[in-house]
Amino acid sequence: MQFPSNDHDHACARAFRAFIGSKPFPCVGAKSAVAKERMKVLVARDITSGWDDMRIYPALLAFIARYRRDPTLFQSFVVVFEGPDNLSEEAFEEHLWVRVQSLSDKDSWLGQPLDKRVHGDPDNPHFSLSFGGEAFFIVGLHPRASRPARRFSSPALVFNLHAQFEQLREEGRYETLRNSILKRDEALAGSTNPMLARHGEASEARQYSGRAVDESWKCPFQSRAKDAVLDGR
């Protein structure tokens, strides 16, 4: 399939922005990013394939460069995959981590630094993913997600900058925004999200896919933090 030169006008990108902009969607930060045209959407083929990883990674680095030039609040980078639309929650979670591992491996191979504001070990409560020296929290969405806020018509990965959460904390706005999102999510789903935790309380890796997991769950991500320990760095 031929992709348009600008994914902004792709049908999947338009559908994603409409989903975020719909009245029930709870995340007001994402709504702001869409309304102010600060949400960059890249459309890829298949979340179960590495076909587009070499498009995704440089686009992510370009997003980081733009953010550093203008660190305005509520900017997100989104990858919407055209399919498949029939993945179970477990299968989606598996392929989310395969894509994340592929992107992280490219970041490591190019010698990009880890963001020193977070930890690279997914078992650590201060963990965040790091690309191009910037920490990210990922939100996964797909058609069979159990939480309505995560139930989009195609698989999608939203890369949210850790620095923006910290900026909101410094400005005294984080708790107000968080509470607003939690109330809106509970109104939409009829229950609170059991996986939510503040950064530093539990590893955020447990939250990425949207699937409810128990204490026995182990993150499949192979972090560079562990490699550095083995190498003696």
Peptide linkage before 84 cis (omega within 30 of 0): yes
Considering only CA atoms, give the Rg of the chain. Answer: 17
Distance of CA 216 to the CA centre of its chain: 23
Give how many domains the chain has, as a whole number.
1
The pLDDT tens digits of the residues spanning 51-91 come to: 999 999 999 999 999 999 999 999 999 999 999 999 999 99
Q: Which band of pLDDT confidence, cut at 50, 70 and 90, is reported for residue 225? A: low
The predicted structure's pLDDT at residue 227: 45
Residue 149 lies in a domain: yes
| 86 part of a folded domain | yes
Return the pLDDT at 185. Answer: 94
Residue 154: inside a domain, yes or no?
A: yes
Per-residue pLDDT, 194: 77
Segments forming the whole domain that contains residue 198:
7-231
Cis peptide before 113 (omega within 30 of 0): no
pLDDT digits (tens, 9 = 90+) for 92-122: 999 999 999 999 999 999 999 999 999 999 9
1 assigned to some structural domain: no
CB 75 within 8 A of CB 67: yes
Domain assignment present for 2 = no
- Count of alpha carbons within 13 angstroms of residue 217, beta-carbon side: 20
In three-state secondary structure terms, 76 is strand
In a domain, 90, yes or no: yes
What pLDDT score does 202 carry? 87
Establish if 80 belongs to a structural domain: yes
Its pTM stands at: 0.93
Decide if pLDDT at 200 tops 50. Answer: yes
